Amino acid sequence: MRTFLIVVASVLLAGLPGIAAAQGGSAAGADVAARVTEARRTNAALMRQYSWTSRMEIFAQGQVKDIRLDAVNYGPGGQLQRTVMNDQGAPLPRGFLRRRIAEDERKRMEEYLVGLRDMLDQYTLSTTGKVQEFLGHAKATGPDAAGLFELTGDNVLYQGDTLSLWVDPLTRHVRRIQVSATFQGDPVNLSATFKTLPSGLNHVAYAELTVPAKQITVQVQNFDYNRNN
């Protein structure tokens, strides 16, 4: 049985060149960056050919405060573009003064939530250069029970953050991630699962961000991926 497990592990390691070396240390940058990063670059180019729908649901103190649908695509300059399709925010209170205070609070909250969403994009989109750099020196372990390799590192995008990323050794696509970071002084936990389309496009299917100090949870679902004509 032990021999069998060793053989299986060897085969899986061969499917993701560099992981075995990464566990040894110095060769991590050469192989992991060259293999997994290349897959991410290919995926980033493919993603620019697609448009999709993103649904963001916001919870505060356990209650739904907003549901927003965006049409998402990449512009000619390679920037991510979002067009609001529907926004079901909580109604503002009556009365001029109360309404003005509520509007100011909503504006601050919207800016905060946009920042959280941008953080999600930075950790999950294939175009993020710092995440690609992280792959070159990440600590690699695996395979786990699902046959995935875990790559873990600190100080990836922000000082003090921790990113764990699980990779399929056959496709070299990301299957899921977990992040612990700080945003505007608040600890944030982020998790995301990925889906791969028949075309080979690897994308975030579901993500959740939690800010315990503010009792805020943001859930994001991406779907209806269509290739642009």
Render pLDDT for 140-177 as a digit per residue (tens, 0 to 9): 887 888 888 888 999 998 899 999 989 888 888 899 99
Is 225 or 143 the better-scoring residue by pLDDT?
225
What mean pLDDT value characterizes the chain?
A: 78
Indicate if the pLDDT at residue 201 is higher than 50: yes
Residue 137, domain CATH: 2.50.20
**pLDDT at 227 exceeding the cut of 90:** yes
Closest CA to 146 of 170, 123, 113: 170
Q: Which of 135, 122, 124 is nearest to 35 (CA)?
A: 135
Q: What are phi and psi of 8, to 5 degrees?
A: -60, -45
By residue range, what is the domain housing residue 176? 2-227
> φ, ψ for residue 99 (rounded to 5)?
-70, -40
d(CA 153, CA 146): 21
Q: What is the domain count for the chain?
A: 1
- With 90 as the cut, is the pLDDT of residue 223 above it? yes
Backbone phi, psi, residue 205, to 5° = -90, -40
pLDDT tens sequence across 70-86: 999 998 888 889 988 87
Between these two residues, 11 and 123, which has the higher pLDDT value? 123
Q: CA separation (Å) from 82 to 36, 55, 70, 72, 141?
A: 28, 11, 6, 5, 37
Instruction: Report which of residues 223 and 117 the model is more confident about.
Output: 223
Higher pLDDT, 32 or 7: 32
Q: Of 31-35, 65-69, 160-164, which range is least confident?
A: 31-35
